[in-house]
């Protein structure tokens, strides 16, 4: 019995008011929902946790439905015959934002939403579909409707673990998922004595039990009373919320373990991507006879997939689990570009998974199972378990891969394991893989950032602009997939050339900047035991047992006298710095002081003048010594940009953008303090 897909289009309309994008011309926007029905017994769906426990229709197929949005050339013959699939991050569209320097929006319609037009001038058909099944409606998120698994018609129950870290005083209530956007697994009992709530200051500290009478499974509802009673609140028992009358202490790690019910069959998210992209790439019509909305198969020659952060991990997991072959064995993506995924894969194909939760870091979600062997595209043997494996192991359908990551992934997301073995030795990657470090940049680099901020951190966030690298990478991928033109060689730190450092080596290299604290180590990765069925998607030990606290060696890029990364691809702002730019930022007092914060980097301004440098004892050369004046800085940025163009790592059209961004000392991203 074959899989079925029916794409029900709700609306077709001109995109960007019919604006003509170069030789491609006008674009059309298509929105609708893709209806899937799959055979739970077919080998193409093997390994999806609890699929055998999902309800089936009269034909014995499991049904699910995904939101879809397509931006395509109005005249397909004028496009470039490439589908670009944007995984979307937590239900939010991301690709146009990052590749086109466009505003963040889940409802792109106007010319402003097209940004600089890169995708559309190139002629891409940009597609996004919902793959994450535990999201709730709101803010225009893309939604995926999935079945609930049951056991012989009865609810499935099991352990659920979730963290809460309050970033401001006064927070008393959380959904059990930890995030307002995300479905919670209901608790089977409102009796807090049947659950365990703990708190701890730092990840490795002993868990302190919060007494059962200090919290409730409940939520707060507010409103305005009658007869001059003023504002009122009510405490409502809830199987999907936690309530702490005294409030959660800021910065503490609270961990709740309870027995939940009604897991979704979340692994079907991989099938959504596989079957939709395969349909668009290969089929003339869907299973209901509706024509392929982007044209017949001759309209598509290549399909590329891109995901960042959460969705970069999802893309790596998609490859590892064999979903780049469709149900008929045909290759789905010709090339993929996972960005800022670190060494992780998607924590999705597990019973009671919380897909929205970030992957493990030094402080937050440290015991998430997102990072587990294999970490690399290349085959190696896990020295702790003796197991041999790789993310890429199906030569007939494995795509070309350009994996990019920032400095943050080395500090917080175990990025070195992407290209080392499990003992920290350099690991040669397959010929169809390139790996790039985007030096001294942070995990989330807003292409339209105005001014940095500190939030709960000690330093301002990292301001390095990197969106020009996305465009160069995709152009390189297209040439590679189309003509076999090899892209630039990987640019990563290695042990062989001394640029992949231990924390001790890095500490000796990093300048002693007055009043700046530094991390004590990158996020470690212990070997964890989640129970005997963890590899089958059932996590029975929550929290997990720590088998080997030392686990896998995590290393970081070496730095120069300014504290900026030596290896990798240096964006113009890093080659001509106004600051030390790091992939780490430390939490401030009262918020987990001294631990690294999520995925936040730092901007630590250079001293403005020699006099400032001397007065503060700063070892770094001053801005005026480097550039003289604002024009000198602009010229340095231009020279750095042209060097990247010569190396095939930046497009010529982006040189002028970099120069414009550098005007007036790069304000408001920077404050050079020289005027």
DSSP class per residue in 624-645: HHHHSSHHHHHHHHHHHHHHHH
Q: In this structure, is the dihedral angle defined by the CA atoms of residues 562, 403, 525 and 133, taken in order, positive or negative?
A: positive
Q: How far apart are CA 184 and CA 186, in angstroms?
A: 6
Q: What are phi and psi of 239, to 5 degrees?
A: -90, 5
Q: How far apart are CA 413 and CA 522, in angstroms?
A: 9
Buried b (16+ CB within 10 A) or exposed e, 356-366: bbbbbbbbbbb
In the block, residue with structure tokens 């929105």: 31
Choose between 227 and 371: higher pLDDT.
371
pLDDT band at residue 439, thresholds of 50, 70 and 90?
A: very high
How many CA atoms lie less than 13 Å away from 71 in the CB half-sphere? 34
Q: How far apart are CA 311 and CA 317, in angstroms?
A: 9
Q: What is the mean pLDDT of the chain?
A: 96
Rounded to the nearest 10°, the torsion over CA 349, 355, 361, 366 is -70
pLDDT band at residue 2, thresholds of 50, 70 and 90?
A: confident
The predicted structure's pLDDT at residue 232: 86
Helices (H) and strands (E) in the chain, counts: 12, 28
How many CA atoms lie less than 13 Å away from 261 in the CB half-sphere? 13
The predicted structure's pLDDT at residue 371: 94
355 in Cβ contact with 132 (< 8 Å)? yes
7 in Cβ contact with 68 (< 8 Å)? yes
The predicted structure's pLDDT at residue 227: 63
The predicted structure's pLDDT at residue 225: 63
Is 105 a residue whose pLDDT tops 80?
yes
Q: How far apart are CA 155 and CA 224, in angstroms?
A: 38
442 in Cβ contact with 564 (< 8 Å)? no
The predicted structure's pLDDT at residue 226: 60
Q: What's the mean pLDDT in 245-256? A: 97
Burial class (CB in 10 A: 0-12, 13-18, 19+), 278: buried
pLDDT digits (tens, 9 = 90+) for 120-143: 999 999 999 999 999 999 999 999
The predicted structure's pLDDT at residue 569: 98
Rg, C-alpha atoms of the chain: 25
Q: How far apart are CA 483 and CA 82, in angstroms?
A: 14
303 in Cβ contact with 331 (< 8 Å)? no
The predicted structure's pLDDT at residue 504: 98
Is 396 a residue whose pLDDT tops 90?
yes
Is 554 a residue whose pLDDT tops 90?
yes
Q: What's the mean pLDDT in 94-118? A: 97
pLDDT band at residue 480, thresholds of 50, 70 and 90?
A: very high
Question: If we measure between CA atoms, which residue out of 482, 389, 380, 486 comes closest to residue 432?
Answer: 486
What proportion of the chain, given as a percentage, has pLDDT over 90?
96
361 in Cβ contact with 295 (< 8 Å)? no
pLDDT band at residue 233, thresholds of 50, 70 and 90?
A: confident
What proportion of the chain, given as a percentage, has pLDDT over 70?
99
The predicted structure's pLDDT at residue 229: 67
Q: What's the mean pLDDT in 323-343? A: 97
Q: Could you give the 3-state DSSP secondary structure of residue 407?
A: helix
Is 424 a residue whose pLDDT tops 90?
yes
Residue 541 has a CB neighbour count (10 Å cut-off) of 14
Residue 533 has a CB neighbour count (10 Å cut-off) of 12
Is 675 a residue whose pLDDT tops 80?
no
pTM: 0.97
Q: What are phi and psi of 471, to 5 degrees?
A: -65, -40
């Amino acid at each position: 019995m074959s899989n079925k897909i029916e794409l029900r289009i709700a609306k077709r309309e001109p995109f960007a008011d019919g604006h003509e994008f170069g030789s491609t011309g006008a674009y059309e926007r298509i929105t609708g929902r893709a209806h899937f029905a799959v055979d739970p017994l077919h080998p193409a769906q093997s390994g999806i946790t609890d699929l055998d426990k999902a309800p089936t229709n009269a034909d014995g197929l499991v049904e699910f439905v995904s939101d879809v949005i397509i931006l395509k050339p109005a005249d397909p013959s004028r496009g470039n015959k490439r589908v670009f699939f944007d995984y979307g991050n937590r239900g939010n569209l991301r690709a146009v934002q990052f590749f086109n320097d466009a505003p963040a929006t889940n409802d792109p319609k106007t010319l402003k939403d097209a940004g600089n037009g890169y995708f559309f001038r190139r002629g891409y058909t940009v597609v996004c579909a919902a793959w994450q099944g535990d999201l709730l409606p709101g803010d225009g998120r893309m939604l995926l409707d999935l079945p609930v698994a049951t056991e012989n018609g009865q609810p499935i129950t099991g352990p659920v673990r979730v963290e809460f870290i309050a970033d401001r005083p006064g927070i008393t209530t959380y959904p059990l998922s930890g995030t307002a956007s995300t479905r919670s697994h209901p608790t089977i009992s409102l009796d807090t004595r049947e659950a365990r709530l703990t708190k701890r200051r730092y990840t490795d500290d002993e868990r302190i039990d919060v007494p059962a009478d200090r919290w409730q499974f409940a939520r707060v509802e507010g409103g305005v009373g009658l007869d001059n009673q003023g504002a009122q609140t009510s405490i409502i028992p809830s199987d999907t919320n936690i309530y702490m009358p005294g409030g959660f202490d800021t910065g503490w790690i609270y961990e709740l373990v309870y027995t939940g019910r009604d897991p979704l069959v979340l692994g079907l998210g991989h099938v959504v991507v596989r079957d939709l992209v395969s349909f668009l790439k290969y089929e003339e019509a869907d299973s209901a006879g509706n024509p392929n909305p982007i044209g017949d198969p001759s309209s598509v020659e290549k399909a590329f997939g891109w995901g960042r952060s959460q969705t970069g991990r999802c893309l790596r997991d998609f490859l590892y689990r064999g979903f780049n072959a469709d149900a008929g064995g045909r290759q789905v993506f010709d090339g993929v570009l996972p960005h800022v995924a670190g060494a992780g894969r998607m924590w999705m194909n597990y019973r009671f998974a919380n897909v929205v939760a970030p992957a493990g870091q030094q402080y937050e979600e440290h015991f998430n199972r997102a990072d587990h062997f294999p970490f690399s595209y290349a085959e190696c043997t896990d020295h702790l378990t003796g197991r041999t494996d790789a993310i890429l192991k199906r030569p007939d359908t494995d795509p070309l891969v350009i994996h990019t990551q920032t400095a943050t992934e080395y500090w917080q997301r175990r990025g070195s394991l992407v290209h080392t073995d499990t003992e920290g030795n350099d690991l040669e990657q397959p010929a169809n893989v390139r790996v790039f470090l985007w030096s001294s940049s942070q995990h989330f680099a807003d292409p339209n950032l105005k001014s940095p901020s500190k939030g709960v951190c000690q330093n301002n966030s990292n301001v390095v602009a990197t969106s020009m690298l996305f465009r160069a990478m995709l152009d390189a991928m297209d040439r590679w997939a189309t003509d076999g033109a090899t892209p630039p060689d990987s640019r990563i730190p290695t042990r062989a050339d001394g640029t992949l450092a231990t924390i001790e080596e890095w500490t000796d290299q990093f300048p002693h900047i007055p009043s700046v604290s530094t991390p004590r180590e990158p996020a470690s990765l212990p070997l964890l035991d989640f129970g005997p069925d963890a590899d089958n998607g059932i996590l029975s030990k929550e929290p997990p047992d720590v088998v080997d606290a030392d686990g896998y060696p995590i290393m970081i890029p070496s730095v120069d006298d300014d504290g900026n990364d030596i290896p990798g691809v240096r964006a113009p702002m890093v080659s001509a710095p106004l600051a030390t730019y790091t992939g780490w930022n430390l939490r401030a007092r009262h918020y987990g002081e001294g631990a690294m914060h999520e995925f936040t980097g730092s901007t630590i301004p250079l001293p403005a003048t020699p006099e400032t440098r001397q007065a503060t004892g700063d070892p770094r050369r001053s801005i005026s010594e480097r550039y003289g004046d604002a024009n000198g800085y602009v010229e340095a940025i231009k020279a750095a940009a042209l060097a990247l163009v010569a190396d095939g790592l930046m497009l010529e059209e982006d040189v002028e953008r970099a120069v414009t961004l550098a005007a007036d000392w790069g304000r408001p991203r920077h404050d050079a303090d020289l005027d």
